[in-house]
Amino acid sequence: MQKVSELYRGKAKTVFVTEDPNKLILEFRDDTSAFDGEKIEQLSRKGEVNNKFNHYIMQQLEEAGVKTQVESLLSDNESLVKKLDMIPVECVVRNFAAGSLCRRLGVEEGLALSPPTFEFFLKNDALHDPMVNETHAISFGWATEDQIEQMKVLTFKVNSILSPLFLDGGMLLVDFKLEFGVDADGNIVLGDEFTPDGCRLWDKDTKKKLDKDRFRQGLGSVVESYIEVASRIGLDL
């Protein structure tokens, strides 16, 4: 499958059109950004690591019955994916308090949340991805009521699949975000990516951060930590 033209360039990935109107190529770059693009760096091998990590996770989800966008690996930093009409709302599940939840509600980092919390955020960099609710999504036409319900069900299913996977590797899946789209047949499909860029992972015993917070907080060893996460769940990078 060959690239025809660039469709979209995000902070860390580029999407390309192919000769097949129903297929795209997703290129993972070494770019790393935080704080709405205020902090940007190039980290060697990050694109390759995230591409292969994402493919592995999506395989696990497919085997557990979650439809995903990913079809195959094309190269170290490229994947072939289904074309989706993306829904501009992120789904966020939190198993432990961290990040913006602590800032907004004044709760202690690491507090176990039972049941896990669920939040929607509008994908809009200019507005800093504000939190929204179901009626916003429906009223503004971002998604239908049925699509919203499916996205919630699928997000919690992903949590039930991946939390034990990471726990078996001695890690806590603290929180994560997912994006969904609609395929050519009208099905809700998991899109974008699942990598340490879009979730929080802590060592179960030491609470060492193994995700993108290492970049946000200047802790160093970002890609090395991503590789460690992969190794703990059975992926040799």
Domain membership flag for residue 181: yes
Q: Within this chain, do residues 209 and 127 fall inside the same structural domain, yes or no?
A: yes
Contact 50, 195 (CB under 8 A): yes
Q: Count of domains in the chain? A: 2
pLDDT of residue 83: 97
Q: Residue 51's Cα: distance from chain center in Å? A: 12
Domain membership flag for residue 232: no
Q: Within this chain, do residues 128 and 191 fall inside the same structural domain, yes or no?
A: yes
Q: Within this chain, do residues 72 and 137 fall inside the same structural domain, yes or no?
A: no
Q: Within this chain, do residues 101 and 215 fall inside the same structural domain, yes or no?
A: yes
Q: Please tell me what DSSP assigns to residue 69.
A: S
As given in the structure block, the two tokens for residue 230 are 């992969």
Domain membership flag for residue 227: no
Q: Within this chain, do residues 89 and 74 fall inside the same structural domain, yes or no?
A: no
CATH number at residue 105: 3.30.470.20
C-alpha span between 227 and 221 (Å, rounded): 10
C-alpha span between 73 and 228 (Å, rounded): 21
Q: Within this chain, do residues 72 and 142 fall inside the same structural domain, yes or no?
A: no
Q: Within this chain, do residues 57 and 106 fall inside the same structural domain, yes or no?
A: no
pLDDT of residue 75: 97
What is the pTM assigned to this prediction?
Answer: 0.96
Question: pLDDT digit of tens for each residue in the chain (237 aa)?
Answer: 889 999 999 999 999 999 999 999 999 999 998 887 678 899 999 999 999 999 999 999 999 999 999 999 999 999 999 999 999 999 999 999 999 999 999 999 999 999 999 999 999 989 999 999 999 999 999 999 999 999 999 999 999 999 999 999 999 999 999 999 999 999 999 999 999 999 999 999 999 999 999 999 999 999 999 999 999 999 999
Domain membership flag for residue 236: no
pLDDT digits over 100-152, tens only?
999 999 999 999 999 999 999 999 989 999 999 999 999 999 999 999 999 99
Q: Within this chain, do residues 162 and 65 fall inside the same structural domain, yes or no?
A: no
Q: Within this chain, do residues 97 and 70 fall inside the same structural domain, yes or no?
A: no
Q: Within this chain, do residues 56 and 170 fall inside the same structural domain, yes or no?
A: no
- Which domain-ending residue is among 27, 59, 82? 82
pLDDT of residue 38: 77
Domain interval for residue 65: 3-82
Give the residue from 232, 146, 154 showing the smallest Cα distance to 191: 154
Q: Within this chain, do residues 55 and 110 fall inside the same structural domain, yes or no?
A: no
As given in the structure block, the two tokens for residue 111 are 């507090």
Q: Please tell me what DSSP assigns to residue 108.
A: P
pLDDT of residue 33: 86
The beta strand positions in the chain, using DSSP E, are 3-9, 13-18, 23-28, 31-34, 39-42, 70-75, 78-82, 85-86, 89-96, 112-122, 131-132, 171-182, 188-191, 199-203
Domain membership flag for residue 233: no
Q: Within this chain, do residues 144 and 178 fall inside the same structural domain, yes or no?
A: yes
C-alpha span between 227 and 237 (Å, rounded): 6
